[in-house]
Structure 1
Amino acid sequence: MTNIYGLLNISRSSILAQQTGIEVTGQNLANVNTPGYSRQLVEMQASSLGTGVKLGSITRAADGFITSQLNSSASNQSFYKTANRAVSLLETIFNESDNRGMSNSVSQFFNSFHDLSLNAKGMTERTAVIANASLMADNMRRISSDLNRTQTNMEEQIKQTVTQVNVLTSEITDLSKTIHASEKNQIQANDLRDRRDEKVKALADILDITTYEDPGTKELIITTTKGKTLVMGQTAFQMETSINGNNNGLVDVNINDGQGNLTNITQEINSGSLKGHLYVRDTVIPGYLNRLDKFAAGIIREVNRVHSSGYGLDKNRGVDFFSSLSVTARSDVNNAGNATISGVVGQQGFVSTDNYRIDITGGGSFSLFNVSRGSASGTFSFSSGSAVDLGNGIRVTLSGSAQAGDKFTFNSSEGAALSMAVNSAVSADPNKVAAGKTLFPGDGSNATSLADLQNSLVFQGNTLLAGSGAVTFQEYYASLVGDVGIESLKAAQGMEHQDAIQKQLFSQREGIAGVSIDEEMVNIIKFQQAYNASARLMSTVEEMLKALQQAI
C-alpha cells in the first residue's frame, strides 16, 4: 500500500511526464511549417502502484507505406517535369509560327526553281535559287545545331545529377551513423530521421528507388527498383559515368561496388529526373535528329539527281547542286576483331539514305541488314582492304581482321542537316545552275522538274522512295514538327497526372504525420490540466505532512 512519500513520487513522475508532453507539443507547433517534419507523440505507461506514470518513448507519426508511395510518385513526377522542360525547348527549335521557319524556306526554295523555269537565262532568278537554297540550308544547320546543343546540355545534366546522387547518398549514410549512435544510447533521433527522409525523397526525385529498414539492426538499405544497392546501412556506393563508344561517346551511368567494379544501370533507370535526361538525350533528340537528317539527305539526293542531269548556261552537266552526301560508318566497340570500316557514296543521285548494319558471319562474308526497314538486304563476300559494292549506291571497305559476330553500322544521311550547303562551284557561278535539259539557253525544263520535286511523293515512313513514297518533303517535315508537339503534350499530361497523385498522397501523409494546430492546442490543455492536477496532489501531500508534524 502506498505511503505518504509514495504519493510524492506519484505526483513527481506525473509532473515530469506532463511537462515532457507540453515540450513535445511545443516542438510540434514550432515545426508546423517545417517541410518533411513528422509530428511527435509522447507514449506514457502506467507504473506499479505507488510509482505513478512512466514516460515510454517519443515516436514519430509516420507511415512507411505512404512514404514509399510518395517517393515513387516523386520519381514519376520528376521524370515528366524534366521531359516536359526539355521537349518545350524542342518546340521552340522547331518553331513554325513565322515566315522564317523551315517549311516556308523549303517552299521558297522550290518556288524559286519555278520562277527560273519561266526565265531560264535570268541572272536574278538564278541568284534567287542560290539564295533561297542557302537560306534553307541555314535553317537545317540551325535546327541540327540546336538539337545537338540540347543533347549536350542533357549530357551535362546527367553528369551533374550523378554527382548529386553521390552527395545525397553520402549525406544519408552520415545521418544513419548519427541516428544509429544516438538510438544505441537510448537518445531519440526523430528529427534526424525526418532529415534523412527528406534526403531520401530528394534521391527519389532523381531516380526510382526502394527503401528498407532492417528490423534487427535498424539500418536503412536503399536500392534501385532493379535491385542495385546504393546505400547499405552506413555505407554508400558511388555512381560513376563512363563513355559508351556505341552511343556517340555519350556517357553511361554505373554503380561502383566499392572494389572498382562498375555495373551499368543506364537501361535500368525507369523514372526520376535522371531518367528524364537520359530519355531526352538517347531517345527523343536522336529520333528527331535522324528524321531531320533523312529530310535533308532526301532533298540533297533528289535535287542533285535531277540537277546533275541538266545543263547550266556554261553548257556543262553532271554538276551537283548541293554538297554531296557522305557515308558515316562505325565499328561496334564490343567487336572481337580489329577490323575497321569506311564507306563512300558511289552514285549520289541513287544512294540509299537508310541506316544499315553489317553482321560478320565468318569465312570472309557478311550479311547486310536494313535497320530503317527492318529487313535483310543480302549476303556479301569481302576481303580486307577491298571495296564491296552493296547495290544501294554505297561501297564499304573492311580493313583488318574481322571475327564472326562483329558488327558495323553505316548510313549516308547522318549529319546531312548539319553539313547541308550549296555546292561551292554553284554558289560561285550562277551560270552552273542547270535549268535546262538541253543546251538551248532558254530551256527551263530541268528547272520545272526541280520545282516539281516539291509535290513529289518521296517518303514512306523514314525511307526515301522517290516517286513511290506516300508523302512529300513538306508533309514529312510537318509530321516531324507535329510529333514534337505530341511529345510535349504527352509530357505535360503525364506531369499533370503525377501532380494530382502527389497531392493526394501528400494529403494522406499530412493526415498522419502533419501537425494540426487545433489538435496540438487540445494536447496543451490536456497536459496542462494534468500538470496542474499533479501539482495540486503534491500540495495536498505537503499539507498532509505538515498536519503530521503538528500532531507529533
Structure 2
Amino acid sequence: MTLFTSLQQSKNALVAAQIGIQVTGNNIANVNTPDYLRERVIYTPAPTQSYGNLRLGMGVQVEAVVQQVDQFLEERLRNSISDLANGETQESAYLQLEALVGELSDTDISTSLNDFLGSINDILNQPEDVSVRNLSVLRGQTLARDISRLYGRAKEVHTDLNKQIKQAATDINSLLNDIADLNVKITTLEAGPITKSDAIGLRDQRQRKLTQLAGIIDIKGVEQENGSTSVFLGGEYLVIDGIARQVETKSVAENGFNNVKLTLAGTDSPILASSGKLAGMITSRDAIVGEFMNNLDDFAQTLTFEFNRVFSSGQGQTGYQTMTSEFFIDDALSDQPLDQAGLTYTPTNGSFKIFTQNLQTGLKNTVDISVKLNGLPDDTSLQGLADAISEVDGLTASISLDGHLQIDSDSQNVEFAFGSDTSGVLAALGLGTFFTGTSASTIDIQQVLKEDPSKFAASKNGIGVDTDNAVEMAGFLDRPLDSRNGQTLDNVYAQLVGEVTQSASVAKSVAEGYRVFKETLDGQKQGLSGVSLDEEAVNLITFQRQFQAASRLISVIDELLEVLVNI
C-alpha cells in the first residue's frame, strides 16, 4: 500500500465523518419540527484496490442518507388520526348542543315551560283579573320564543357544519394536488444513479400532507417501488404517481335542508368517508344536530297539538264573534273525511260543543257537533263541518277561497266558544287554540290572545263560568298524552335532553379513547423516528472524533510524504 492509497482512505473517512456531522446537525435542528423523521447515514466499505496479488480496502464510504421510518406504524398512526378527528368533531357537536340546551341555566326550555304552567295556577286564585291571564299569555310567548330560538341556534350549527363540509372538499383537493406534485419530485430525485438516499425534505413534506389529509378523510397510503405514494379511499384511488383526482361538491335537498355532498369528479361517485373530520362533520350534521332538530320539532308539535286540545276545549271570560282556522284544506279535499284531508294533526272520531250567548238578553245555548271519522261514507269533511256549525242558531260557517274555515256571529250581540273536544278537530284545524305553528321554528301564540287576554280559555262549562279548564292546563306537564302512547310532556322533554347529555358523555369517552391510542402510537413513532438529543449528542461526538482521527492521519501522511520527497 502506498502513502497515496492511505491518503485516499483518510479522505474517505474524513468525508464520511463530515456527512455524519451534517446529518446529526440536521436532526438536532429539527428536533421540534412536526412530522420530521429522523435521518441516519448508511455506511458501506469502499471498493477495494489491487496491489500485486493483494486486494486492499479503501476505507469507508457513504452509501445513502435515509429516514428512520416504519411504514406500517405510519399507516396505523394515520388511521388513529382519522379516528381521533372523527371522534373530536362529534364530541364538539354534542358540546355545542349541550351549551344550547343549557339545562343547568335559567334560560332552558324546562324553566320556561314550568314558568308558563305555573302562571296558569295564578288564574285559579284570581280568575277575574285579566292581567293575570295576560301574564300566562306572555309566559306562553316566552316559551314559544325560547323553543324557536333553540331551534334557530341549532340550525346555525347545522349550517356551519355544512359550510365546513364544503370547505373540506377544497382542502382535500389542495392536499391531493400537493401529494401528486411531491410524488413527481421525489421519484425524479430518487431515480438518479448517483445516490440511494431518500429525498429527505420532500418526503417530510409529503408525510406532513398525508397526515393532514388523514385528519380529513380515512385514506390508505401505499408507497410504491419508485418512491411515490398512492392514496386510496375505500376502493377508489385519489392519487397515483403524479395524477390526483378531484373532489366536487353538490347540494342535495334532504329533510328541508340543502345538504352538501362530496363526489369524485368525472364519476360522480360519493365520497364514503368512514372516519376523519369529514365523516365526523357529516355525522354531526345529519345524525347529531339534524336528529336533535327533528326531536325538537317533535317536542314542539306534541306541545302544540296536545296543549291546544286542552285549551280549545275551554272558554275565556269573553267569547268570539269571528274566527278563522289556522290551517287550511285544499279545495279538492274539502269533501274528503277530515282524517284524510292532509292536515298536520289528524283528528279522530268524536265530538265537541259550541257555546253561544247573547250579550243583550243573556240567553245561553250549547250545541253538540259530531265529528264522524269511522271510515264510513258519512264521515265528516270540512264542508260537512261547516254545514253543521251553520245550523247552530246565531252562527254562520263557510270555507274561504284559500281553504280556511271561517266562523262568524250573525249579530254583534252573539259570542261563541268551544268546549269538550274529544275528536281533536279544533286543535287540528287551529280553531280557538293557544299555540300556532307546526314546528319548533314556527311555534307562536294566537294573535287574538295577545290582543285580548280575556279570551284565555280557563273555563270548562261556559264562557266565564269557572276555572276547571285552567286546572287541567296547570297540570298539563304530567298529563298522559294520547299521541305519545301515554307519555307525559315531561317525559318527552326529558328524553330530548337525555339523548343529548348521554350521547355527549359517550362521545367524550370515545374521543378520549382515540386520544390515548394516538398518544400511544405517537410514543412508538418517537421512539423510532423521533430525534433524541442525548443520542444525537453522542453521535456528534463520535463523528467529531472520527473526523479528528482522519485529519490526524492525513497530517501524518503529509509528514511522511515530505520526508520521502526530501530524501
Residue deviations 1:363-397, cap 9 Å, x none?
xxxxxxxxxxxxxxxx9xxxxxxxxxxxxxxxxxx
Structure 1 residue 57 corresponds to structure 2 residue 67: no
Corresponding position of 1:252: 261
Which aligned pairs between 1:509-548 and structure 2 lie closer than 5 A? 509-548=525-564
Structure 1 residue 261 corresponds to structure 2 residue 267: yes
Taking structure 2 as the reference length, what is the TM-score of the superposition? Answer: 0.76
Point out the more displaced range, 529-538 or 278-287: 529-538
Shift in Å, 1:77: 1.2
Match of 1:306 among 307, 310, 315: 310
Shift in Å, 1:126: 1.7
Whole-Å Cα distance in 2 between the matches of residues 162 and 175 of structure 1?
20
Q: What SS is found at the alignment partner of 1:345?
A: coil
Q: Is the Cα contact below 8 Å between 1:78 and 1:206 reproduced in 2?
A: yes
Residue deviations 1:231-256, cap 9 Å, x none?
11211111111112345321111122
Partner amino acid, structure 2, of 1:528: Q
Q: What SS is found at the alignment partner of 1:294?
A: helix
Q: Is the Cα contact below 8 Å between 1:308 and 1:318 reproduced in 2?
A: no
Corresponding position of 2:216: 206
**How many aligned positions are there?**
463
Q: Is the Cα contact below 8 Å between 1:118 and 1:444 reproduced in 2?
A: no
Partner amino acid, structure 1, of 2:263: N
Say if 1:198 and 1:66 are closer, same or farther in 2 by CA, change over 3 A: same
Q: Is the Cα contact below 8 Å between 2:316 and 2:463 reproduced in 1?
A: no
Whole-Å Cα distance in 2 between the matches of residues 448 and 38 of structure 1?
74
Corresponding position of 1:357: none
Shift in Å, 1:156: 0.7
Say if 1:434 and 1:62 are closer, same or farther in 2 by CA, change over 3 A: same
Q: Is the Cα contact below 8 Å between 1:79 and 1:276 reproduced in 2?
A: yes
Q: Is the Cα contact below 8 Å between 1:309 and 1:317 reproduced in 2?
A: no
Whole-Å Cα distance in 2 between the matches of residues 40 and 236 of structure 1?
29
Q: What SS is found at the alignment partner of 1:264?
A: coil
Q: What SS is found at the alignment partner of 1:442?
A: coil
Whole-Å Cα distance in 2 between the matches of residues 326 and 203 of structure 1?
53
Corresponding position of 1:445: 468
Residue deviations 1:264-309, cap 9 Å, x none?
12xx211211112111100011211111111111111112222222
Corresponding position of 1:37: 36
Q: Is the Cα contact below 8 Å between 1:293 and 1:414 reproduced in 2?
A: no
Say if 1:318 and 1:84 are closer, same or farther in 2 by CA, change over 3 A: farther
Say if 1:325 and 1:22 are closer, same or farther in 2 by CA, change over 3 A: farther
Corresponding position of 2:167: 160
Shift in Å, 1:440: 5.0
Residue deviations 1:476-510, cap 9 Å, x none?
21221122112222222222222211211111111
Say if 1:537 and 1:526 are closer, same or farther in 2 by CA, change over 3 A: same
Partner amino acid, structure 1, of 2:224: D
Structure 1 residue 28 corresponds to structure 2 residue 51: no
Q: Is the Cα contact below 8 Å between 1:305 and 1:349 reproduced in 2?
A: no
Match of 1:417 among 440, 444, 451: 440
Whole-Å Cα distance in 2 between the matches of residues 202 and 431 of structure 1?
64
Residue deviations 1:184-215, cap 9 Å, x none?
23464112101110111011111111110112
Q: Is the Cα contact below 8 Å between 2:101 and 2:150 reproduced in 1?
A: yes
Whole-Å Cα distance in 1 between the matches of residues 502 and 158 of structure 2?
19
Whole-Å Cα distance in 2 between the matches of residues 343 and 61 of structure 1?
73
Which aligned pairs between 1:337-352 and structure 2 lie closer than 5 A? 344-345=342-343
Whole-Å Cα distance in 2 between the matches of residues 55 and 245 of structure 1?
62
Shift in Å, 1:57: 0.6
Corresponding position of 2:292: 288
Whole-Å Cα distance in 2 between the matches of residues 349 and 138 of structure 1?
27
Whole-Å Cα distance in 2 between the matches of residues 99 and 263 of structure 1?
48
Shift in Å, 1:348: 6.1
Whole-Å Cα distance in 2 between the matches of residues 350 and 325 of structure 1?
17
Corresponding position of 2:89: 82
Shift in Å, 1:12: 1.5
Whole-Å Cα distance in 2 between the matches of residues 326 and 269 of structure 1?
44
Say if 1:323 and 1:114 are closer, same or farther in 2 by CA, change over 3 A: farther
Structure 1 residue 220 corresponds to structure 2 residue 229: yes
Match of 1:500 among 498, 516, 535: 516
Q: Is the Cα contact below 8 Å between 1:240 and 1:253 reproduced in 2?
A: yes
Structure 1 residue 142 corresponds to structure 2 residue 149: yes
Point out the more displaced range, 35-44 or 147-156: 35-44
Shift in Å, 1:165: 1.2
Identity %: 30
Partner amino acid, structure 2, of 1:195: Q
Q: Is the Cα contact below 8 Å between 1:309 and 1:318 reproduced in 2?
A: no
Residue deviations 1:432-480, cap 9 Å, x none?
2222222252321222222232211227xxxx33xx41x3212321221
Shift in Å, 1:316: 4.3
Say if 1:208 and 1:347 are closer, same or farther in 2 by CA, change over 3 A: closer
Whole-Å Cα distance in 2 between the matches of residues 3 and 74 of structure 1?
59
Q: Is the Cα contact below 8 Å between 2:458 and 2:469 reproduced in 1?
A: yes
Partner amino acid, structure 2, of 1:200: L
Point out the more displaced range, 77-86 or 272-281: 77-86
Whole-Å Cα distance in 1 between the matches of residues 545 and 107 of structure 2?
77
Q: What SS is found at the alignment partner of 1:58?
A: strand
Corresponding position of 1:384: none
Q: Is the Cα contact below 8 Å between 2:181 and 2:242 reproduced in 1?
A: yes
Q: Is the Cα contact below 8 Å between 1:161 and 1:206 reproduced in 2?
A: yes
Shift in Å, 1:528: 2.0
Which aligned pairs between 1:172-183 and structure 2 lie closer than 5 A? 172-183=179-190
Whole-Å Cα distance in 2 between the matches of residues 346 and 18 of structure 1?
83
Q: What SS is found at the alignment partner of 1:311?
A: coil
Say if 1:346 and 1:181 are closer, same or farther in 2 by CA, change over 3 A: closer
Structure 1 residue 231 corresponds to structure 2 residue 239: yes
Whole-Å Cα distance in 1 between the matches of residues 328 and 93 of structure 2?
30
Say if 1:160 and 1:211 are closer, same or farther in 2 by CA, change over 3 A: same
Residue deviations 1:326-377, cap 9 Å, x none?
99xxxxxxxxxxxxxx9731766659xxxxxxxxxxxxxxxxxxxxxxxxxx
Say if 1:7 and 1:286 are closer, same or farther in 2 by CA, change over 3 A: same
Residue deviations 1:30-71, cap 9 Å, x none?
112222111111111112124322221111011111111111
Corresponding position of 2:118: 111
Corresponding position of 2:390: none
Partner amino acid, structure 2, of 1:254: T
Whole-Å Cα distance in 2 between the matches of residues 66 and 81 of structure 1?
22
Q: Which residues of structure 2 form unaligned runs of 5+?
A: 49-55, 331-339, 350-374, 376-427, 430-435
Structure 1 residue 473 corresponds to structure 2 residue 496: no
Corresponding position of 2:369: none
Say if 1:120 and 1:254 are closer, same or farther in 2 by CA, change over 3 A: same
Match of 1:193 among 178, 192, 203: 203
Q: What SS is found at the alignment partner of 1:245?
A: strand
